Amino acid sequence: MDFIPLSIPDVILIKPDVHRDERGFFFESWQKNKFAKAGIDQEFVQDNHSRSSKNVLRGLHYQIRQPQGKLIRAIVGEVFDVAVDLRRSSPSFGKWVSANLSSENFNMLWIPPGFAHGFLVLSDVAEFVYKATDFYAPQYERCILWNDRDLGIDWPISGHEPILSEKDSKGKLFREAEVYL
């Protein structure tokens, strides 16, 4: 298993060892000792699973209290996954990183607490699963507008508008958002 820090080094791309043969494949998606050795020594308390259609964009979500670290992967289809650093004390505050996660590449992404998260579905359908380090707390959930110009996220959108929930279409601008210290 390879653990590759991205340009914001706290966000880590994980490339598992996938064992394939004529029957299919096998890989470890979580192994506490290997992850701890790579600096991801977390207790996960909740697993989530979503299914979305092509061009659905979810995010940019975070919880201002009970922030969640997330271990993310696509088990069907492909997504463009984004993490935005909301830690004011961080040298990468307001910066973003991305990775394509798919059922073909098996890659996973570790996003620690203190980040907003979102993804865009690139395939006809995508199923997305993630482990979270804290429980969902809707009273603390916040949303930053996906296309905020101050963030400048380079979403791979060509010739169409993404499909958004009402909540996501009303996200706050980054400069107005609550952030972490």
* Tokens 């699973």 sit on residue: 49
Strand 78-85 and strand 96-102: the pairing is: antiparallel
167 forms bridges with which residues in the sheet? none
Q: Where are the alpha helices (DSSP H) in the chain?
A: 32-37, 166-169
Catalytically active residues are 61, 130
DSSP code at position 91? T
Say which residue the tokens 């958002």 belong to: 177
**120, 155 in Cβ contact below 8 A?**
yes
How far, in Å, are 38, 44, 45, 115, 125 from residue 120 at the CA level? 28, 24, 25, 17, 11
The candidate with the shortest Cα–Cα distance to 130, out of 33, 31, 29, 37, is 29
Provide the token pair at 60: 């940019």
Residue 103 CA to residue 107 CA, distance in Å, equals 8
